[in-house]
C-alpha cells in the first residue's frame, strides 16, 4: 500500500501511507483486471479507460451504493467543490512527465469521492473554536507510484491559495490511495473505507467500474484490534506527557516542546486507530488532528483556534518535531508551553472518553 499525508495550511492534503501500520496486511491475490467504460458526465473528461485500470470483481461482489448526488450542498459549495476537483486534476496532470509508467500502464485519477460530514449533510461549524468542516476527498489513482507526494504538492498549494482568497470556502482535505489498495481494504472490511463506501459521494470518475462490496470483520475481531491500539497508544501519549513535565521543571524548553509534540501525535494515533483501525504514517500533528477531528468532532474542543494567540502554541509544537531537535533558531516560550500542556491534557481526556466508549460498546 502506498500513500502520503499532506497539508497546505487550512487546505489539507492527506496522501496516506497508513494501513501498513495497522495490521491485517493481507497480500493481494486478485491480479485479474477488466476493461472499464467511458462514462459521459460532468467532471469526467473525455478519455477512454483501458484494460488494467480496475481489479475484476464478480457481480455479486460489487454494488452501486456509492452515491453520485450532491444536491444537499448549496450552489456555492457545489461550485467550490467542482473547482477543487478541477485543481486536483489539472495539477496532477501537469506533474506527470508521461501519462504512462515504464511498463506502459496509464497513470491517472480514477475516482474522487466526497466523504465525511459534508457528504453526510452534517457539517460542523464551531464558532467558539473557529472550526468548520472540510471537504474530505478520497482520490483513487491507477497505481501506487502516483500517490507519491511530489505529484500533489502543487495541488496543495493551489487549494490553499484558493482558500486564502475566499474565506467563505470550506477547507479541502484529500487522501490519495491507489485503486488496488482501496479495493483490498474494502474487501477486508476496514471500517474507515467501509464507511466511505456507505456514506461517500462520487464527484468525479474516469471509469464506470464499481467498488467492491465491503467485507465484514467480526465484532470480536474489530474490538480486539481496537483495544490493542488503545492500550498501546494511550500509554505512549501519557508517557510523553510525563517526559514533558520533567523537561519543563528543568527549564529544557525545546525538549519539552518535542515531548509535547510526541504526546499529541500518539493521542491522535490512539483515537484514529481505536475508532477506525486506521491512521496515517505521519508525524505532522496538524494533519493527524484534521483526520481525527473528521472522525470524532468532540476532539475539536481540545484546541481553540479562533485567535492567533490560541493557534500559536499548537503551531510551534507542529514545528518542534524537527526544529526543536535540530535548529538553533527554534524558540518557544514557557507561557506557550504551559498553555500547550493544558490543552494536551484536555486532548488526552477526550481521547480517553471516546475510545473507552467505543470499546464499551463492543
Report pLDDT digits (tens) over 48-58.
344 344 444 44
Instruction: Lay out the sheet containing 109-115: strands in order across.
Output: 6-8, 11-13, 172-178, 135-141, 109-115, 201-205
Give the pLDDT band (50/70/90) at residue 243: very high
Considering its fold, how many domains does the chain have in total? Answer: 2
Indicate if the pLDDT at residue 254 is higher than 50: yes
Who's near 285: CB < 8 A, 6+ residues apart? 261, 264, 265, 268, 314, 317, 318, 321
| pLDDT, position 67 | 77
Same domain assignment for residues 93 and 236: no
Give a yes or no: residue 223 inside a domain.
Answer: yes
Of 205, 231, 264, at which residue does a domain stop? 205
Domain of 328, in residue numbers: 219-361
Among 86-90, 93-97, 271-275, which is the least confidently predicted range?
Answer: 93-97
| pLDDT, position 24 | 36
Helices (H), 127-214: 153-165, 179-188, 191-199
Same domain assignment for residues 275 and 345: yes
Give a yes or no: residue 99 inside a domain.
Answer: yes
**CATH code, domain with 352:** 1.20.120.330
**CATH code, domain with 194:** 3.30.460
Who's near 47: CB < 8 A, 6+ residues apart? 38, 108, 206
Residue 260 and residue 341 in contact, taking contact as beta carbons nearer than 8 Å: yes
| pLDDT, position 26 | 36
Cell numbers 481489479 correspond to 55
H/E segment holding residue 175: strand 172-178
**268-324 pLDDT per residue, tens:** 999 999 999 988 778 989 989 998 998 999 999 999 998 999 999 999 999 999 999
Give a yes or no: residue 213 inside a domain.
Answer: no
**Calpha distance 331→323 (Å, rounded):** 9
Same domain assignment for residues 183 and 228: no
Give the pLDDT band (50/70/90) at residue 3: low
pTM for this model (two decimals): 0.73
Residue 36 and residue 207 in contact, taking contact as beta carbons nearer than 8 Å: yes
Of 174, 205, 236, at which residue does a domain stop? 205
Of 205, 228, 245, at which residue does a domain stop? 205
Same domain assignment for residues 184 and 223: no
Mean pLDDT of the chain: 83
b/e burial code for range 189-199 (CB count within 10 A of at least 16 → b): bbbbbbbbbeb
Question: Cα separations (Å) of 127 from 9, 299, 311, 314, 357?
Answer: 19, 15, 15, 19, 26
DSSP symbols for 90-151 = HHHHHH-S-SB-TTS-B--EEEEEEESHHHHT---EETTTTEE--EEEEEEESSGGGGSGGG
Among 116-130, 235-249, 337-351, which is the least confidently predicted range?
Answer: 116-130
Amino acid at each position: 500500500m502506498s500513500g502520503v499525508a499532506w497539508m497546505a495550511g487550512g487546505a489539507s492534503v492527506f496522501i496516506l501511507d497508513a494501513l501498513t501500520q495497522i495490521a491485517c496486511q493481507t497480500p493481494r491475490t486478485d491480479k485479474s483486471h477488466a476493461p472499464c467504460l467511458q462514462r459521459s458526465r460532468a467532471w469526467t473528461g473525455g478519455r477512454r479507460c483501458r484494460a488494467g485500470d480496475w481489479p475484476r470483481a464478480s457481480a455479486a461482489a460489487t454494488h452501486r451504493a456509492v452515491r453520485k448526488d450532491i444536491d444537499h450542498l448549496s450552489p456555492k459549495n457545489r461550485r467550490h467543490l467542482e473547482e477543487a476537483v478541477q485543481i486536483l486534476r489539472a495539477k496532477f496532470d501537469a506533474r506527470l512527465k508521461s501519462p504512462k509508467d515504464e511498463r506502459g500502464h496509464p497513470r491517472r485519477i480514477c475516482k474522487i469521492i466526497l466523504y465525511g460530514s459534508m457528504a453526510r449533510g452534517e457539517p460542523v461549524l464551531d464558532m467558539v473554536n473557529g472550526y468548520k468542516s472540510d471537504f474530505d476527498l478520497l482520490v483513487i489513482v491507477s497505481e501506487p507510484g502516483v500517490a507519491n507526494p511530489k505529484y500533489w504538492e502543487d495541488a496543495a498549494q493551489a487549494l490553499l491559495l484558493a482558500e486564502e482568497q475566499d474565506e467563505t470556502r470550506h477547507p479541502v482535505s484529500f487522501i490519495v490511495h491507489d485503486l488496488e489498495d482501496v479495493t483490498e481494504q474494502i474487501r477486508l472490511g476496514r471500517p474507515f473505507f467501509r464507511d466511505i463506501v456507505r456514506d461517500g459521494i462520487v464527484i468525479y470518475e474516469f471509469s464506470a467500474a464499481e467498488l467492491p462490496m465491503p467485507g465484514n470483520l467480526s465484532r470480536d475481531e474489530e474490538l480486539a484490534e481496537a483495544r490493542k491500539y488503545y492500550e498501546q497508544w494511550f500509554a505512549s501519549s501519557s508517557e510523553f506527557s510525563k517526559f514533558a513535565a520533567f523537561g519543563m521543571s528543568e527549564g529544557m524548553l525545546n525538549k519539552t516542546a518535542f515531548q509535547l509534540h510526541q504526546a499529541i501525535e500518539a493521542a491522535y494515533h490512539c483515537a484514529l486507530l481505536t475508532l477506525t483501525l486506521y491512521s496515517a504514517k505521519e508525524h505532522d500533528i496538524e494533519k493527524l488532528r484534521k483526520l481525527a477531528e473528521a472522525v470524532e468532532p468532540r476532539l475539536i474542543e481540545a484546541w481553540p483556534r479562533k485567535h492567533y494567540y490560541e493557534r500559536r502554541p499548537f503551531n510551534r509544537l507542529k514545528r518542534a518535531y524537527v526544529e526543536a531537535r535540530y535548529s538553533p533558531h527554534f524558540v518557544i516560550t514557557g507561557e506557550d508551553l504551559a498553555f500547550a500542556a493544558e490543552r494536551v491534557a484536555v486532548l488526552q481526556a477526550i481521547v480517553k472518553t471516546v475510545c473507552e466508549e467505543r470499546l464499551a460498546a463492543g
